[in-house]
Structure 1
């Protein structure tokens, strides 16, 4: 089997500026070892995101993808999530070695929801929220607990960052967040749902990749669904239309969904400023302006 050539664009990703050189150097040997172990042959040029390399492979007549990322809690969680949903709206996991950071997945196309018009993407993502909302395992982290942890920190972050927006917005987010932190619900939720994470499939028209499994309220990540496509919704009426499309497709209560968008946008606004992000806080500011009234 010919060796793997790791794309330069992956090697130069900002993800590796703070470490990971040893893992990158070992990638060709890791691919060779996993192909030998799972009886795979290379079948095309690799692709990548910011943290994972995906290599097209074959096993007999079966067309698959070998996904490789630095081992750790993220990979372990993704393997567990894919095993839980077992192909229901998600890419199917064929095999995995979480300790090595490797997954063997069904082959999907390179077309994502980023490649379709925003209104269509909102409908697909809303439908997917509902499709994924089966009873979740009791042991996974709840959306209510995630909100409670952040609500306790938001006021201090707002002060440390120099009060970057009106206190009225902070108070509204805290009020909403406290209510959401008391909410129950046992639905399975993907806590990293957005257009780039949903690829065109064969078994189903669209399938999710790289899920983060939580338990609770299916509206949890609606804010992310919107802010990741906000540049294609230039006017408030466009944002509201996209919101309404997703809400109807997910069978959500509109006022409840609006609360989630407002809270998550304020939360991410502060987190993004603290992390040194420049574009996403501006998107969150736009979302808040649309939904705080």
Structure 2
């Protein structure tokens, strides 16, 4: 069970109950075991005022966590498997010798969604949350060992079966009350695209948008009911582990039909298992395996795939061409 902070929140934004003056708190907390080292990937947009201010606060934030949870941070995770942009991720060891990972998050919304998704997961199929602090926007997570991403495994067929089994563990019935974005709310981006371009679809081909709108209407009409979704379950977010063979990390946290969670994996192509593989053959084989493992109709798997790629093109119009190419590939193997 996750542990929540008790008593005054040790936060650079001020304690929760106002009992400790900020200046007094900083003098007490700012003694880090290892100085914060910010990777270059996190400073690419540091000209943004909010981003710059958050980066400047990072040492204080980490120091607060060090004292709050009695841990010693190490060097940040910047190896080939980890790419930090909006979150600062650092392994640490607690005073009892427990290995943990500290995740300090820039966005309040992203923090809230990941926290809720992890809490609702019941630690089934995903990394365990050990503690959190809303003021610090920080999670303390279990250290996943060996922690090798599925992207590093060479057998795409086996990888697809592994991913499907992780998905099944994550998909728990959604509670009536929750704070996560729904798939229906995300699909509304297609309508917003038309509003943005005065009834048109901008750079995204109108025919694809119209097909996606019709497809989503049919898919939602036959939905088996809303479940908790990971929201970004690709090869790099599934790690080899000891508590379970494989665990998911970094959930975006959404609620909706199971089909939505298939898409990030279906179109992802890590070089270790996909180099030299024809795209159509790859997508067709994955659709067959996912349909078999998940007890779904193959056409339904592919329709969720291409329709969601069109949706993503509508949400990120500056990158629309790549998403429409993938949508075309998926539609061609139906």
> Does TM-score exceed 0.5, indicating one fold?
yes
Aligned pair 1:126/2:157, yes or no?
A: no
Structure-2 separation of matches of 1:73 and 1:166? 32
Q: Does 1:58 align with 2:93?
A: yes
Higher helix share: 1
CA contact (8 A) 2:309 2:326 kept: no
Q: Secondary structure at the match of 1:87?
A: coil
Q: Which moved more, 1:233-242 or 1:140-149?
A: 140-149
Q: 2:189 aligns with which of 147, 150, 163?
A: 150
Q: What are the ranges of 5 or more consecutive residues in structure 2 without an aligned counterpart?
A: 1-31
Within-5 A mapping of 1:1-293: 1-14=32-45, 16-18=46-48, 19-47=50-78, 48-59=83-94, 60-109=96-145, 110-117=147-154, 118-140=156-178, 141=180, 143=182, 145-146=184-185, 148-155=187-194, 159-162=200-203, 164-165=204-205, 167=207, 169-184=208-223, 185-229=225-269, 232=274, 233-272=277-316, 274=317, 276-277=318-319, 281-292=321-332
- What's the Cα RMSD here? 2.6
Distance change (3 Å), C-alpha of 1:13 and 1:202: farther
**Closer/same/farther in 2, CA of residues 95 and 153 from structure 1, 3 Å limit:** same
Number of residues of Structure 1 aligned to a counterpart in Structure 2:
286
CA–CA separation in structure 2 for the residues paired with 1:224 and 1:68 = 24
Q: CA deviation at 1:166?
A: 6.4
Deviation per residue, 1:82-138 (Å, 9 max, x gap):
111121111000000122111111002442122123333322222222111221112
* Residues 191, 220 of structure 1: 8 Å contact kept: yes
Displacement of 1:209: 1.4
What TM-score, normalized by structure 2, do the two folds share? Answer: 0.76
> Is contact 1:127-1:249 (8 Å) kept?
yes
Contact 2:34–2:74, Cα closer than 8 Å, also in 1: no
The offset of 1:230, in angstroms, is: 7.5
Deviation of 1:183 (Å): 4.4
Separation of aligned partners in 2, 1:105 and 1:242? 31
TM-score, normalising length: structure 1? 0.86
Q: CA deviation at 1:182?
A: 3.5
Does the CA contact (< 8 Å) of 2:102 and 2:138 recur in 1?
yes
8 Å CA contact retained: 1:130, 1:251:
no
Offset at 1:4?
2.1
Q: Which one has a bigger Cα radius of gyration? A: 2
Gaps of 5+ in 1: none
